[in-house]
Structure 1
């Protein structure tokens, strides 16, 4: 059974398979329309600030340390 998804641009049903080079889009046209929307900043990935408090160096260092601990691929081999 093949997975079917909707094209993010036109909502047409698309079969998700390796032969479909434009997946999840139905066509190159829809893929380029979406790319243009990103380039024009019509789409944005944003997250609201958690706090109005300014970030101190200590806070940034702690966040960086936490990130590195959870993402071991950034750690230099010993």
Structure 2
């Protein structure tokens, strides 16, 4: 079996990767959304838009 990141021989300690470095690169892909599956589902798009609107909306609290 070869490492899915660099194609080197895998190391049993880091299987299926060859090293901690390649394992960390793979983790970064997951955390950064690099392995996300695009969706054309309108419901998903609406949820994202709602979340963005809430996150970007100015504070509605009054100053003390």
Query: TM-score with structure 2 length normalisation?
Result: 0.52
Following the alignment from structure 1 to structure 2, what is the Cα–Cα distance between the partners of residues 30 and 8? 8
Partner of 1:13: 9
Alignment equivalent of 1:27, drawn from 8, 19, 32: 19
Per-residue CA distance 1:16-75 (angstroms, 9 max, x = gap): xxxx220000000000000001100101256887xxxxxxxxxxxxxxxxxxxxxxxxxx
- The Cα shift of 1:8 comes to 0.9
Q: By percentage of residues, which structure has more helix?
A: 2
Q: Which runs of 4+ in 1 moved over 6 A?
A: 46-49
- Structure 2 unaligned segments of length 5 or more: list them: 42-64
Query: TM-score with structure 1 length normalisation?
Result: 0.44
Q: By percentage of residues, which structure has more strand?
A: 1
Give the number of aligned pairs: 43
Q: 1:26 to 1:39 in 2, by over 3 A?
A: same
- Structure 1 unaligned segments of length 5 or more: list them: 50-78
Following the alignment from structure 2 to structure 1, what is the Cα–Cα distance between the partners of residues 40 and 2? 28
